[in-house]
Structure 1
């Protein structure tokens, strides 16, 4: 490949127990820590997938070697090129390219015995510093890229999304559910903070303190409160008393209307209902209604009984309208009452 420069640099410290997935090269801009550090290097996120595909396609057998001290890339015959492992796959994960590795027995012994501590990727770049091809990696002890984070164990190599999903009891393949659960937990945390602040409790056992207050029996001054059952009995008795008083008042008003000769037998049911439902309206009617019943030769309340005609007068029409009966029915009832009298 024309106009390409090969680089080697130690990326990260490896665990003593070889991991199946390791960081290989950063995505984005980076600088080497040795004399080459003045030159900016970068693997653009938009180019990373293409670089990975090209690198694996050009690799013999589709695998990239991990050797000792980059001996595989030294002039032929200058040193042995035994493999410490083989990179079988690569993928972008966040701001890193992660490599899937199959370690050889020699590579495992070197890492477990701490003979080697760092992994150094081998890559080629264009003159402008863009990574063009990943050729492999080597186990080294002279890191040239110390600012990148170290790899400490297999557990620390786990995808953070997988870790979060495991804690939440969800699948890492359902990111929308993970986001939904995290948001719900944040809202619950906010609400609980408001509750504890309002309750004036603090400390790790704040929730326990709030629950204790909610379940505690409040102190009650018996001189200021009565049992609910006694209050309900009192309400029932008061309602019964109100009904009795109302019935007595209605009956008194009805009897007064009878004594004044203003009620006929046919009007009793209507008058009773009206007096029971709206005593004030019945009393207003009784005050305006004429005497309809002939009580004999005696005067009614100091007045002579009105003389009846074959038709209703204005007052009788008003009474008939209030009673909701026709003029003819009212006239028939009036005449029958007069005849009976």
Structure 2
């Protein structure tokens, strides 16, 4: 999967906990899934939990610098000092928030409103799907409308203090203890996703026994099997009949000896044997006069007479069998 790093795209304005102090928790990414930047680019945040999981897999804090110096100045060998460190992350109403350990200098600059916005650096694919946050920079040109890092206190409408998200109701819904950790909650959500995938797969391939009576299903299955067996038997009989016809035609044509019928029947019984036999017959020479024995066996003496000899028998009033015997006696 191709990943790209985006910087200075999401410039997030974050509110101070109270006037004159840099906030401990800052918004790193707005709630998705669709996120539009002021410069026209669009991104999606389909799975905030995956972004947090990627942070934990990194097993270390992520740097916040000034004006994305890590991306632009550090590669040139120039100084790119940290303004703070993202030490933890959590989800709040679909948005990704980070716990920041500010440097003294950066905290003073934020409190003095010298920097008011935060721009995260993140990895995304070609489709714009966000996969991980790799850092952030203090900036003053916002691309997104987000919570301010530092803003003047409105005495008529004071900024409320941050409160820790109450996950009690969520824990009850997931069947967890009210004191469950964030990792346990995320694991329960992952299980719900897996259950959803399993349910959708089952819906695509339902159990027929739940919709069709078993007896009816078995009866139809038996009929199908019987029909298949009958069709196979019909095909076998048809193949045998075609083979016998081809063999008899070859006998009458004088291409094969009548006594070799069984040999050629065995050949035709093989897979593709009938086609092989027909090709063979086409290459064989005539080894005897064309036979007019038909279905008669060679032992039937009357069948050995030619049409001319039969005409003689009819004219003389002699039986064909007696005439055949006399011819046989003459040959001996």
> Which protein shows a greater Rg?
1
Normalising by the residue count of structure 1, what TM-score does the alignment of the two structures yield? Answer: 0.42
Normalising by the residue count of structure 2, what TM-score does the alignment of the two structures yield? Answer: 0.43
